[in-house]
Each structure stands twice: as structure tokens, then as C-alpha cells.
Amino acid sequence: MTTYEAGDPWSALADRTRRTIFKRLATGPMAVSELADGLPVSRPAVSQHLKVLKCAGLVRDRPQGTRRVYQVEPRGVEALRAELDAFWDKALAAYQSIADEGERTS
């Protein structure tokens, strides 16, 4: 059963293990074996989580010898930030509207 919508970064980050992997990659590029260290899941499971994050545009990979090294995809993070900024702008505008309405009724 798929618990995420393919390509949706918010759904991809809804999983705790994927968030942990993503946070680890924020510190710098890592191979699957490095990412799997200390996680309660197997290396193949980490690979599957990375596949979801990659599909969502949050990470990218490159070959390095016999392994693949993953890193955060800056454009994916920028897209998340833009969405958060849009939500924040709407919330502030709504708050300003309520505050302005309160001043008019006082």
C-alpha cells in the first residue's frame, strides 16, 4: 500500500524515516550505507525511501565508484520554501484583515 502521493514533497516528508534521512542529507552528501547507520530500517529500505525523496524532487544522486551518493536538491527545497512563504503570507494577510476589522468596530 502506498502511503504517499508520488512526486509530492510534502507527502514524501510525512514519513518519519524519510524526514530523518532528509535531515541527515542536509548536513552533506552521503551514501546509502552512511544514511542507514543508526536507522531502524535496512539498507534496501533506505534505498526505497531515497527513491521516494528523489521522485518528490527533494534529493538527487550521483555515482561515486561503486556506490551512489545522495544530496539535498536545492530546487526542491526552494519549492517547499515558496509554498510555506505563500501560506505564511496568506495567514498574515488574514490576521491583518481581522486586526483592521477590529479597529473599525472599536
Structural domain span for residue 39: 9-105
The answer to whether residue 58 sits within a structural domain is yes
CA distances from 54 to 9, 16, 82, 86 (A): 9, 16, 19, 24
For the segment 42-99, what is each residue's pLDDT rounded down to a tens digit? 999 999 999 999 999 999 999 999 999 999 999 999 999 998 898 888 888 888 888 8
DSSP character for 42? -
The answer to whether residue 4 sits within a structural domain is no
Spatial separation of the C-alpha atoms in residues 106 and 102, rounded to whole Å:
6
The answer to whether residue 13 sits within a structural domain is yes
CA distances from 66 to 15, 19, 62, 69 (A): 28, 26, 11, 10
The answer to whether residue 88 sits within a structural domain is yes
For the segment 93-102, what is each residue's pLDDT rounded down to a tens digit? 888 888 888 7
CATH of the domain at 51: 1.10.10.10
The answer to whether residue 3 sits within a structural domain is no
Number of domains observed in the structure of the chain? 1
The answer to whether residue 2 sits within a structural domain is no
